[in-house]
Amino acid sequence: MCDHSRDRQGGLTRRGFLGTVGAGAVAAATVGAQAGSAEPVRPINEDTRSVVLQVNGRRHTLQVEPRCTLLNVLRDRLGLTGAKPGCEAGECGACTVLIDGRPRYACMTLAVAAEGAEITTVEGLMRGEELGDVQRAFIAEDAFQCGYCTPGQVMAAEGLLRASSDPSRDQIRHAMSGNLCRCAAYEHIFRAVERAARTRRNGGAR
């Protein structure tokens, strides 16, 4: 896990406070047990680097640990919680975002590896308070039940439609196959993608 002891304004969070207190206790015990050792106790987050991420058209400069995933940074540092933590092993697709227009699992992408790319999250498909056409199509076709996987499904569909304006049903199935829906609303999801594709072909908002 990455260190999120500080919130986005630089203040210490409750979780961070508790973690710091616990780490301090462990450090004190370690120092007591190894009295006379010349090796100092080093904080786990000492090794950070500056990274510049372009997310939804905005530039963000952050200090991150090299091991931090893009999912961690989007949710915990930038407050973009549309991408969801699910399996966090690249299997469920709940964390799908677009990187240079192509769907990628944010849980399997290091934040430092995304530097220089254009990152789009589900929040970036909106125009102010107006939903994007894929989001509207999901509502129109009742393509969600619990809704947890929906942002990832929407981003996978968005990636497909950016690559193909008139995908076949088989192409849709293939493009959406990396996103699992535990409620099994797949037929509704496929219809939603078809509806969004028709909207774009007919000149609807992208």
Percent of the chain topping pLDDT 90: 72
Which residues is 96 bridged to in the sheet? 105
Residue 182 predicted with pLDDT over 80: yes
| pTM of the shown model | 0.78
For the chain, the domain total comes to: 3
151 with 195, same domain: the answer is yes
More confident residue, 128 or 191: 191
pLDDT of residue 203: 82
Say yes or no: 51 and 8 in one domain.
no
What is the structure's pLDDT at 127?
Answer: 87
Q: Determine the pLDDT at residue 2.
A: 76
Judged against a pLDDT cut of 90, whether residue 154 lies above it is answered with: yes
Q: pLDDT at residue 112 above 90?
A: yes
Q: Is residue 206 part of a domain?
A: no
Whether residue 85 is predicted with pLDDT greater than 80 in this model: the reply is yes
CATH number of the domain to which 112 belongs = 3.10.20.30
Residue-level pLDDT at 173: 97
Q: Name 178's Cβ contacts closer than 8 Å, sequence gap at least 6.
A: 93, 96, 103, 105, 156
What does the DSSP 8-state code read for residue 59? E
Residue 74: pLDDT over 80? yes
- Select from 53, 54, 70, 71 the least CA-distant residue to 62: 53
Distance (Å, whole) CA 184 – CA 32: 55
CB 89 within 8 A of CB 74: no
pLDDT, one tens digit per residue, over 19-36 is: 444 444 434 434 343 444
Higher pLDDT pick, 93 / 45: 93
Could you tell me the CATH number of the domain that includes residue 151? 1.10.150.120
* Helical spans, DSSP H, in 10-118: 14-33, 70-72
Evaluated on CA atoms 44, 81, 152, 160, the torsion sign reads negative
Q: Does residue 120 fall inside a structural domain?
A: yes
Tokens of 203: 């000149």
Whether residues 156 and 131 share a domain: the answer is yes
First-to-last alpha carbon distance for the chain, in angstroms, is 36
Q: Which domain, by its residues, includes 35? A: 1-43
pLDDT on residue 185: 94
Segment 50-77 mean pLDDT = 97
Q: How far apart are CA 15 and CA 148, in angstroms?
A: 24
Assess whether 48 and 115 both reside in one domain.
yes
